[in-house]
Amino acid sequence: MLEFSGYEADDVIGALAQQAAQAGLDVTIVSSDKDMLQLVSGGETAGAISVLIPTKDDLVCDAAKVEELLGVPPKLVPDVMALRGDPIDNIPGAPGIGEKGARQLIQRFGSVEAALEHAAEVERKTYRESLLNYRDQILQSKKLATIETSVPVKLDLEAIAVREPRREALRQLYQELEFHSLVPELLPKPDVREKDYRELSSETEARALLEKLPERTALAAVGEAEGETGAETGELKFAPAAGGLGLSPQPGLARTLPWGLIPVAREWLESAERTKAVANAKTALRALRAAGIELRGVQDDITLYSYLLDPTLANHELEEVAKRHAGALVGQDPSQRADLVGQLARLLAPELEQAGLRRLYEQIELPLAPVLADMEEVGVRVDGDQLARLSEQLAGQIEALTAEIYRLCGAEFNINSPQQLSKVLFEQLKLPAPVKYGKGKVYSTAVDVLEELAEKHEVAGKLLEYRQLSKLKGTYIDALPRLLDPRTGRIHTTFDQAGTATGRLASHDPNLQNIPIRTELGRQIRAAFVAAPGWKILSADYSQIELRLLAHFSGDPALVDAFHRNQDIHSRTAELVFGVPPLLQTHEDRRRAKAINYGIVYGLSPFGLAQQLDIEKSEAKQFIDNYFATYAGVRRYTDKCLEEVRRSGVVRTLFGRLRPIPEINSRNPQQRGFAERTAINSPLQGTAADLIKLAMIRVHRELKEQGLRTRMLLQVHDELLLEAPQDEVEVARRTVRRAMEQAWKLDVPLLAEVGVGDNWRDAK
C-alpha cells in the first residue's frame, strides 16, 4: 500500500510509473480510468508505460492504441478529458461538448488553451458558446484531469518486492470470504514424494500392520452407499459388500483391509485406548456395526471439526472438506480416503484448539455420535393404516379446496405452477402485485405475498391452506409408509450433526423437524408415531428453555426471580409490562405477553411485533420499550450481544459454539437487521441445542447403567421421544427428567416435562 499525504492515488501511481520507466523498467498500469492513458509512453529512451483496461477484455494500450481510442496522443489526453468531462472523477468539462466534439477540437487546435484562444472561430454554436462561457471551468477541468507526476514519493523496489504472506491471517480471510479454492495454496504440503497405497492380502500381513499402528491412526470405512438410507424403501445400506477399511498411519502411506479380513482388526478397532481419526464417527460406527464390530477410541472427526469451525457452510462431507482445505479430490479408494482423513485431522485439530472449541467437541459433539447411531438403528414405529386413512381424508379436502379456488378465480389452472398462479392473481383478478419477482420474471406467489393478499381476497387464504395440506400429505402422510424398513417395520431417520448454523440437529429421510405442533393435522400425523405392543411413548420437553437461558445470560433480577419462584413468566410479563394483575388478565393479555417474551428472544422489531399482534407499530414499540424498562438486564444483554458481534463478527453459546455473522456491519438495512436479530438469538438457541445434546448423552448413559430397555427414538427441537416397556415407564420417566434437569447448572432451574402415551401425540 503506497500513499502520500495531499495527493490522490492517480498522482502517486503516475509518479512511480515515470520513475520506474526512467530506471529502464517496463511498466503496466491496470486501470479502467481513461485519465491514466496520458501516462502511456513508447519507451524510446527509457522503459515503456502501458495501460491494461480490465473492463475491455484486458485491452493493453500503447501510444498507438491510445490514439486509436481517443484520437489524440497520450500527452493530449488531459485536454480531451477537460472538454468532454468525466463525472466519475468529478471533472465537469465543457457543457454541450461530448467525446466526439472534444476529440475534433483538440485535433484541430492542438490543446485546450489553443481551443479557448480560437473559440470565436468554431463554427458549431453549442461548442463555440461553451468555450466562450465556461473558460475557467474548462481550465480547471484540465488541471483536474492532469496527473501530477512530481509527487515527492520515492520508488523503492526492495520495499515493494513480493514477500511471503501472513498465511494464517490470509487463510482466515479466504475462509471468511468463502474463497475456498484459494485456501489450499496456503496449506503446508506434507513431505510425501510418492503415495504408498495398496490392499492387504492376508491375515498375517494385516496383523503385522495392526501391531505397528501409532496413536490417531486414520481410518475410512467404504462400503455400498456408505452412510446413506434408501429414500424409497428406508432400507439401511451399511452392508460392507464392497470397498474395505482404509488405514493410514502417516501422510502418503495407507493400506486397505478387505471386509473379509475385518475380524483380524476387531481388537484394535474396539480398543478405546488405540485412538483413531475418522471422516464421520456416526457413519463409521454404523458401517463397522454391520460387520459386527463396535468402534471405540475415535479422537478426530473431520466432519465435526469442519462443522464447528464454520457452521454456516452447507457441506461438511469428506469430499468437500478435502477440497476446501487440501485442494484434493476424493474418490472411493479406502486408502486414499484414510490418508486424507489423517492429513485433515492434523490440520484441523490445532484450529479447533485455537478457536476455543475443544471442550464443546469433546464434551458434546463427539460423545453424541454413538447416541445418534443407536437412535438411527432403533428407529420409530409408524401406524401405516392410520396414515392411509389420513391420506384419503386429505385427498378429499384438497379436492374440495381446488374446486373452491377455481370458483373464486373464475378459471381452472395448475395451482402448483407459479407462472399460472401469478397470471391469475395479478392479471385476471387484478390483485395488488408485490414488489418482488419469482422465477421467470413473474410476480412472486411466495407465502409472505399470499399472507398479505389474504386480507384483500379470500382466495389467498385458500391457496395457503391448499399448499400446507399438499405439503404435509406429500412430505409425511404419503411418504412415511414408503420409508418403512422391511426388516424392522420401523422408520429410521438419519440425524445430521452438521446441518444447521445454530447447533440444532437436523434429520432427513424423513425430516421430522417440520411437522406442525399446534395444528390439528400435525397432531394427527404425530398420532401415527406409535409404541410397540407392550411399550409406551415418552415425550420429554424442556419448558421455556430459551426464556430461562435469557434469564441466565442477562442476569435480570425480575426474570431470574420469576423462574426461581416458578411463576408463569407470561403472566408475570403481562403484569409488569401492561400493569394488569394476574387475576384480571385475559387470554389476550397473556397472548400478547408471550409474543413479547419470545419476540425479544428472536430480536423482533416493533414492525414485526405489530404484524404478529395486529396492532399499530407505535403501540408495539411502546410494548417493547415497557418490556426493556421492566427487564433492564435484558436490554443490557442485547446491547452487549450487538456490541460484541460488531467487534468480532461472531457470537458464541454458553459452551463456546461459534456462529459467524458477517452481515452485522452490512450497509443494507435488511441484511443488517436480520444479522442483529440473529446475533441476539443465536447464543440462546445455540445453548438450548447444546443443552438438549448434553441431556441426550446423559439419558443414554443412565439408561444403560441402570440396565433399562428404554431407548431414545427421536430428538426434535427441545423434545426427546423415547419408547419404554410398560413396566419401566415410571423409572424411565424419573431418569429422563432428572438427566434433563441436571444437564447443566444455570442461574435459574431447568424444568423438563415428561408425558406418556401410546403415541407421540398423546404423550404430550
pLDDT of residue 440: 57
Question: Of 174-183, 308-317, 373-382, which one has max mean pLDDT?
Answer: 373-382
For residue 241, pLDDT over 50 is answered with: no
CA atoms within 13 A on the CB side of 704: 10
For residue 170, pLDDT over 60 is answered with: yes
Break the chain into its structural domains and give their ranges.
Answer: 9-145, 176-187+194-379, 380-491, 499-555+651-764, 557-630
Q: Residue 190 — pLDDT band, cuts 50, 70, 90?
A: low
pLDDT of residue 232: 32
pLDDT of residue 437: 66
Q: Residue 729 — pLDDT band, cuts 50, 70, 90?
A: very high
In the 8-state DSSP scheme, what is residue 232? Answer: T
In percent, the amount of the chain with pLDDT more than 90 equals 60
Sheet strands side by side (includes 59-61):
27-30, 49-53, 59-61
Alpha carbons 103 and 94: distance in angstroms, whole number: 13
Helix (H), strand (E) at residue 52: strand 49-53
The pLDDT tens digits of the residues spanning 666-704 come to 888 888 888 999 999 999 999 999 999 999 999 999 999
Pairing between β-strand 650-652 and β-strand 658-660 as defined by DSSP bridges = antiparallel
Q: What mean pLDDT is predicted for residues 578-600?
A: 88
Is the pLDDT higher at 510 or at 222?
Answer: 510
Fold matches, 176-187+194-379 and 380-491: no
Q: What mean pLDDT is predicted for residues 203-215?
A: 93
The pLDDT tens digits of the residues spanning 567-577 come to 899 998 888 88
Beta bridge partners of 715: 720
The residue written with cell numbers 398462479 in the block is: 421
For 208, other C-beta atoms within 10 Å of its C-beta total 11
C-alpha cell at 595: 409474543
pLDDT of residue 279: 95
In the 8-state DSSP scheme, what is residue 151? Answer: -
What is the fold of 380-491?
Answer: Taq DNA Polymerase; Chain T, domain 4 (1.20.1060)
Taking the alpha carbons of 255, 259, 263, 267 in that order, is the dihedral positive or negative?
A: positive
In the 8-state DSSP scheme, what is residue 474? Answer: I
Alpha carbons 497 and 307: distance in angstroms, whole number: 8
How does 726-744 read in b/e, with b if 16+ C-beta sit within 10 Å?
eebbeebbebbbebbeebe
pLDDT of residue 230: 35
For residue 640, pLDDT over 70 is answered with: yes
Please report, for residues 180, 391, 691, 701, the alpha-carbon distance to residue 540 in angstroms, rounded to integers and kept in the order given: 41, 28, 13, 16
Do the Cβ atoms of 564 and 748 come closer than 8 Å?
yes
- What is the residue-averaged pLDDT of the chain? 89
Please report, for residues 406, 415, 419, 440, the alpha-carbon distance to residue 444 in angstroms, rounded to integers and kept in the order given: 20, 14, 9, 10
Pick the CATH number of 176-187+194-379 from 3.40.630.30, 3.40.50.300, 3.20.140.10, 3.30.420.10: 3.30.420.10
C-alpha cell at 16: 512511480
What is the fold of 9-145?
Answer: DNA polymerase; domain 1 (1.10.150)
Alpha-helical regions (H) of 602-668? 606-613, 617-630, 632-648
Read off the pTM: 0.76
Q: Residue 235 — pLDDT band, cuts 50, 70, 90?
A: very low
Q: What mean pLDDT is predicted for residues 460-475?
A: 92
Residue 479 makes CB contacts below 8 A (sequence gap 6+) with 510
For residue 227, pLDDT over 60 is answered with: no
Pairing between β-strand 752-757 and β-strand 535-542 as defined by DSSP bridges = antiparallel
Q: What mean pLDDT is predicted for residues 616-642?
A: 90
Q: What mean pLDDT is predicted for residues 178-194?
A: 67
Is the pLDDT higher at 34 or at 367?
Answer: 367
pLDDT of residue 439: 62
The pLDDT tens digits of the residues spanning 506-523 come to 999 899 888 888 788 889
Beta bridge partners of 236: 229
Burial of 448 (0-12, 13-18, 19+ CB in 10 A): exposed
Alpha carbons 362 and 653: distance in angstroms, whole number: 16
Is the pLDDT higher at 637 or at 600?
Answer: 637
Q: What mean pLDDT is predicted for residues 580-605?
A: 87
Alpha carbons 273 and 271: distance in angstroms, whole number: 5
Alpha carbons 690 and 364: distance in angstroms, whole number: 7
For residue 277, give the nearest of 235, 247, 309, 256 by alpha carbon.
Answer: 247
Beta bridge partners of 535: 725
For residue 438, pLDDT over 70 is answered with: no
The pLDDT tens digits of the residues spanning 273-292 come to 999 999 999 999 998 998 89
What is the fold of 499-555+651-764?
Answer: Alpha-Beta Plaits (3.30.70)
Alpha carbons 316 and 311: distance in angstroms, whole number: 9
Lowest mean pLDDT across 45-54, 429-438, 507-516: 429-438
The pLDDT tens digits of the residues spanning 99-133 come to 899 999 999 999 999 999 999 999 999 999 999 99
Alpha carbons 175 and 317: distance in angstroms, whole number: 17
